[in-house]
Amino acid sequence: MNGLVRDLGCPERRVSAAELLVSGGEVAAEAIVRELADELSPVQWLDAVPVLQRIGDTAFDCLVQGLLDASTAEAKDRVGLAFTRLGAGFLDQYVTAMSHTSAFVRCQAVVGIRLCDGAGLSTVTALLPLLGDPDPEVAQQAQDTLVIRGKEIEDNLVPLLQQIRRAGPGRQRARALTVLAALGGETVLPAQDVAAFERLIRVKLPDDRPTASGACWNHWIAVPSGDQAGIISILGLTDPRPVTFALGNDIVDSDGHDAEPGSHRRFTRVFVTPELDGWTFVLGAWCDPCNAERSEDVLKLCTLLSSRYGRAETYFYGAQGDGSAWLVTEHGKVLRRYSETGEGEDHLLTLGDPLPFEQTRREELGLQPVWDAALESEDDADAWQWAAFELAPQIAQHLGASPLRINSDTTSHGVGVIALTPYGVAHGVPTGSYCV
């Protein structure tokens, strides 16, 4: 039997071995699970799962026992990968396993449901009691699975979560709130929860201190003024609501991460900071100076801001090596726009002469301070591109200030707000749960 199981890891013998193992029933299933628990075995879950699926309920029970018997983290992972990928044909078994005395088995059963397409209302609602599971990992997995699978049955699930918020059980209430926020946002939260949330923000704001943005993709407008209301008016933002730095940063980061390609979600909200060392920042993807959809509108808005406040700057910085872009305006005129993100259309955005900071950086690299990209050698172009990828935060700091460099010692006046952009008015705000 062991030889047949090993054959599952051999492409030329896999099909014939699988047929014989299916006919072996429980004995074969036990042997496959033992093989999966062997960290040195060439047999992987992709090889084993089709056979285990065909063996059926007996194989499921063997995998449960395998989860309990696994003695190392790697063995647990190998058996767990097979267990959680048995598919929708085992939804009833997964639901039963969610009541197992072992927290690890309960957790893996929840993951199995999350990976199944087409989980119905009865299956998803069976997860609700696990929101209050005494094991925090089980409770977290239940929460995450309800957020993912609950979108398919939102209209039926939301009233059940609202009932938990109103009447308990108490241990389920906190995570039920998180799931509600993720599924439907503020519109589905009970009024008392919205009021409590707003009260919590009011309590935190007096002691709130500036916190730097730590997003992967950073977009911001910088204005050397503390006139938050005037900046909001010029930009056409609406419905400003007070937020802590943690909440403001988390919202714009989440909007940027979670948006579907081509979605307007990432453009619906911005975080407008209080005055920080004489500057106000507007953060969010809506401020992107190099986005094909937004670049010209951002240029227009920045020139308007600079007409009133003397200067306005806009930046993009991809902290994971996605490049930089900058737009600097003064007194209603564009001084410079430049983008270096590795995209083929970057050069079409270039306006104005290189900033003194750009020229100095090029001289440090041994390059001509003022250059024609069409005439530059490939080696020089590559050297500049690699350097320019990291320049946006440096230019921002050199010209005045950067939201990536603020900290608790930064002088702050006023309160930050989350505001709706015209996209947010037209399309509505995204749902989600955030850090206050």
Condensed to tens digits (0 to 9), the pLDDT of residues 328-342 reads 999 999 999 999 998
Residue partners of 174: CB distance under 8 A and separation at least 6: none
What per-residue confidence (pLDDT) applies to 155?
A: 84
Between these two residues, 40 and 127, which has the higher pLDDT value? 127
Q: Where are the domains of the chain?
A: 2-181, 204-427
Encoded amino acid at 426, one letter: A
Residue 430 has pLDDT above 80, yes or no: no
What per-residue confidence (pLDDT) applies to 371?
A: 87
Mean pLDDT of 11-25: 79
How do residues 48-64 score in pLDDT, each as one tens digit?
Answer: 899 899 999 999 999 99
Nearest 5 degrees, angle CA 365-CA 366-CA 368? 110
What per-residue confidence (pLDDT) applies to 96?
A: 96
What per-residue confidence (pLDDT) applies to 3?
A: 67
Residue 415 has pLDDT above 90, yes or no: yes
Residue 434 has pLDDT above 80, yes or no: no
Beta-strand (E) ranges in 189-274?
217-223, 238-242, 269-272
What per-residue confidence (pLDDT) applies to 214?
A: 80
Tell me how far apart the alpha carbons of residues 274 and 401 are, in angstroms, rounded to a whole number. Answer: 14
Between these two residues, 280 and 319, which has the higher pLDDT value? 280
Mean pLDDT of 8-23: 78
In angstroms, what CA-CA distances link 233 with 228, 237, 288, 310?
9, 6, 19, 16
Helix (H) or strand (E) holding 420: strand 417-420
Band (pLDDT 50/70/90 cuts) for residue 44 is confident
The residues pairing with 336 across neighbouring beta strands, listed in sequence order, are 328, 352
What per-residue confidence (pLDDT) applies to 245?
A: 95
Mean pLDDT of 418-429: 91
Band (pLDDT 50/70/90 cuts) for residue 420 is very high
3-state secondary structure of 339: strand
What per-residue confidence (pLDDT) applies to 16?
A: 81
pLDDT > 90 in the chain, percent: 68
What per-residue confidence (pLDDT) applies to 213?
A: 83
Residue 362 has pLDDT above 60, yes or no: yes
Pick the closest to residue 235 from 278, 282, 289 (CA basis): 282
Query: Within 13 Å and on the Cβ side, how many CA atoms surround 79?
Result: 31
* Class in CATH terms, 2-181: mainly alpha
How do residues 204-263 score in pLDDT, each as one tens digit?
Answer: 999 999 999 888 899 999 999 999 999 999 999 999 999 999 999 999 998 877 556 556
Mean pLDDT of 106-133: 92
Q: What global pTM score does this model have?
A: 0.79
Tell me how far apart the alpha carbons of residues 332 and 266 are, in angstroms, rounded to a whole number. Answer: 27
Pick the closest to residue 296 from 269, 323, 334, 240 (CA basis): 334
Residue partners of 107: CB distance under 8 A and separation at least 6: 135, 137, 138, 141
What per-residue confidence (pLDDT) applies to 258?
A: 58
What per-residue confidence (pLDDT) applies to 1?
A: 59
Average pLDDT across the chain, whole number = 91
Mean pLDDT of 371-387: 88
How do residues 154-166 score in pLDDT, each as one tens digit?
Answer: 888 999 999 999 8
Mean pLDDT of 121-150: 94
What per-residue confidence (pLDDT) applies to 8?
A: 76
Tell me how far apart the alpha carbons of residues 398 and 326 are, in angstroms, rounded to a whole number. Answer: 13
Tokens of 365: 């690299």
Q: What is the DSSP string of 47-92?
A: HHHHHHHHH-HHHHHHHHHHHHH--SHHHHHHHHHHHTTS-GGGHH
